[in-house]
Copies of this chain bind each other. A is one copy, B any other.
Amino acid sequence: MPITWANLGVDLHLDQSGRRLRAGLEHALRDAIQSGQLHPGARLPSSRALALDLGIARNTVAEAYGQLVAEGWLAARQGSGTRVSDRPAASPVAPSRDLPDPTLVRYDLRPGRPDLAMFPRAAWLAAARRALTAAPYDALGYGDPRGRPELRSALAEYLSRVRGVRVTADRIVVCTGVVQALGLLFQVQRAGGRQRLAMEAYGLPDHRQVAVANGLRVRTLPVDAAGADVDGLSGVDTVLLTPAHQFPLGVPLSPDRRRRVVEWAVEGDRLIVEDDYDGEFRYDRQAVGAIQALAPEHVVYAGTASKALAPGLRLAWLALPSHLIEPMTEAKRLADGHSGTLDQLTLAELIVSGAYDRHVRRCRLAYQRRRDRLVAALGDRAPRARVTGIAAGLHALVELPDGRREQEVVAAAAGRRLAVEGLDEYRAAEQRHRPALVIGYATPPEHAFAAAVAQLCTVLEG
């Protein structure tokens, strides 16, 4: 086999003089053209003349010229030698502004994130090793848009056991976060002429934005102590709910409303999207099972690894009614082929080995303790604030003492480098709940939790 660039390679930096010289010459010429030292149309010395000047082989110069011609920097015309291309001067690459950094905060009680210090790095790496070592070759290729069968099977068993979901592996689509899952679902609904979506009056602004970006018309449902008011669903095709633990108000959907919304869906052949974002975390009793089990053909169940493991994994899943399997598979294929397989294989291994259950139990205990400490501290040191909602999830609604305004409290907290969010950040309708903070008690690392809660109490009583 002849020696070529392929098996020697400039990136080896072998001291093969001709090659090094040629690369250096190319580099110098490119720089000179980019910087304007050599302007468009400028004529270069002949390869012979330049070779003599530089004391190098003529071939080296000729090859460098040839490369730059191929790249478009130079133009060679019969009879007129080699010139700098008349190509438009390349615009200088100005460093563009970085996106805003998160403000520097010392204590963080904003909701939406688990304690990232609890991510089981060692267990994850061990599972990744087992999974990748055992993975068939095809796991590394292009695959089923729904995701790896190993993960879909593991999830079907897990969701059935832990959340009562009635699902088989073929009905599961693994997505890059719930945001993508909802986006694809909204696309499919819109393509099917089902453009009218109802969402809870308090919820994640991102979900609303995704719905609007995908062309849906959004109506809001009032939310009260019994969850979303499902009486306002006439003329709606799809409703997005957080039945186990309303986000952010923290209440479950009442049994009566659960029944009624399922009736609404089945009778009119409509769709419920059940966002079960923190269904594994209930502390005072066994969690209420998924609504999906009541009507698997009319409910899309959405779950995620963002709360039990880490949002950075971007792993979420949908359990679909049968009529949505094909359109959702196609939507996912057109969106990105499928989600990355290595993390899917690792999560499957984690679930099947039992390590995921152990980790969830550990988190559940830790977050229950934090919630208890938060409630106790507020009771002692900020008794005019009131924690509402059920003992569940990773956040609590803390209603402000009478007369206090959210913005003022958030600003006072910021003055102490404590980041908190007012409930109003999540409001999407006229309805106004009384002023409150949405406290994410899972966010700080364990060592910072007590101090963060102390700051919160001070701010609330201040």
Contact = CB atoms under 8 A, between A and B. Distances in A.
Interface of A: 1, 4-7, 9-12, 30, 67, 69-73, 75, 85-88, 90-91, 93-99, 112-113, 116-117, 119, 121, 124-125, 128-129, 132-133, 137-144, 146, 161-162, 164, 166-168, 170-171, 175-177, 179-180, 183, 209-210, 213, 252, 255, 258-259, 262-263, 266-267, 282-286, 288-289, 291, 293-298, 310-315, 322, 325, 329, 334-343, 357, 361, 364-365, 368-369, 372, 445
Given A6-B364, A286-B5, A340 B337 contact: no
Given A67-B286, A93-B168, A445 B137 contact: yes
Contacts of A161: 11
Contacts of A286: 5, 10, 67
Contacts of A146: 99
A124, A335, A372: most-surrounded residue (chain B CB, <10 A) = A335
B282 A5 contact: yes
Given A67-B286, A86-B259, 12 more contacts: A6-B283, A12-B361, A71-B289, A71-B293, A75-B255, A91-B298, A93-B297, A113-B142, A176-B176, A209-B334, A313-B342, A314-B336
Given A87-B262, A315-B340, A72 B255 contact: yes
A121 B133 contact: yes
A312 B128 contact: no
A139 B312 contact: yes
Nearest to A117: B137
Q: Give the secondary structure class of A's interface.
A: helix
Contacts of A338: 314
Nearest to A64: B286
A460 B334 CA distance: 35
A5 B70 contact: no
Copies of this chain present: 2
B132 A91 contact: no
Given A179-B334, A296-B90, A255 B96 contact: no
B4 A368 contact: yes
Contacts of A162: 11
Contacts of A140: 116, 119, 310-313
A142 B283 contact: no
A179 B336 CA distance: 5
A340 B322 contact: no
B337 A99 contact: no
Contacts of A445: 137
A213 B330 CA distance: 11
A95 B294 contact: no
A392 B278 CA distance: 50
Contact of A113 (B113, B141, B168): B141
Contact of A294 (B72, B213, B311, B361): B72
A155 to B, nearest CB: 15
A176 B335 CA distance: 9
A325 B97 CA distance: 10
Nearest to A162: B11
A175 B73 CA distance: 30
A63 to B, nearest CB: 9
Given A67-B286, A313-B342, A334-B210, A72 B262 contact: yes
A336 B71 contact: no
Given A340-B312, A343-B343, A259 B87 contact: yes
A292 to B, nearest CB: 10
Contacts of A365: 6-7
Nearest to A313: B340
